[in-house]
Amino acid sequence: MDRRGSGYLSDVIDGVDWAIGSGMNVINLSLGCDCPSESLHDAVARARDAGIVVVAAAGNSGGSVLYPAAYPEAIAVAAVDSSGIAPYWSSRGPEVDLAAPGKSIYSTYKRTGYATLSGTSMAAPHVAGATALMLGAPVDPAYDADASGTWNPDEVQNKLQATATDLGIGGIDDIYGYGLVNALAAFNQ
């Protein structure tokens, strides 16, 4: 991406392919586009097939979930504020898997050190971080579907969803997905 945060889908695809070739375990894609792309979808699917958990920001339009989050191989992350309420701008739809803090997040920022930012691009790293914690933990036998003794992307996603704190209407919904990611519960349960 350039200094303004813009770039080409081909650059994103190259980044995903680099992560695959470099043996990464989790990819955070705090970016989005309302333009479905077969090439980007293929890259996300390749990453998932390579055993990489792909986490993506749902979008900040308040409308439909953006790509790559809208692809089924990605964990789509919506935003919530400090009260657990989804801001009007957090994208929504059946593709939303989880929610995470995304409003008024103090974080690193280009050239200036730190800034307070809002968006699903701030929420997605919370889920990527929870994923990294899980990948470092012993595999929960209840989720070890392939009996490999290591976490695969489906097992990670299932555990994060099962341990999420339900928000909104009971059960999965288009605003919060399975609910607020709960890293401690995912790691400990």
Which carries the bigger pLDDT value, residue 108 or residue 88? 88
> What separation in angstroms does the CA of 47 have from each of 18, 24, 121, 164, 170?
10, 9, 20, 24, 32
| CB contact at 8 A, 83 and 101 | no
Q: What's the confidence (pLDDT) of residue 5?
A: 76
Q: What does the alpha-carbon distance between residue 87 and residue 122 come to, in Å, rounded to a whole number?
A: 13
pLDDT tens figures, 50-79: 999 999 999 999 999 999 999 999 999 999
pLDDT tens figures, 127-171: 999 999 999 988 888 888 888 888 999 999 999 999 999 999 999
DSSP one-letter string for 15-81:
HHHHHHHTT-SEEEE---BSS--HHHHHHHHHHHHTT-EEEEE--SSSSSPPBTTTSTTEEEEEEE-
CATH entry, 9-188, from 3.30.360.10, 3.40.50.200, 3.30.9.90, 3.40.50.1820: 3.40.50.200
| CB contact at 8 A, 86 and 78 | yes
100 pLDDT exceeds 90? Answer: yes
Q: What does the alpha-carbon distance between residue 17 and residue 32 come to, in Å, rounded to a whole number?
A: 17
- Percentage, residues of the chain above pLDDT 70: 100
DSSP one-letter string for 48-61:
HHTT-EEEEE--SS
Average pLDDT value for the chain: 95
175 pLDDT exceeds 90? Answer: yes
Q: What does the alpha-carbon distance between residue 160 and residue 180 come to, in Å, rounded to a whole number?
A: 9
Q: What's the confidence (pLDDT) of residue 41?
A: 98
Give the residue extent of every domain in the chain: 9-188
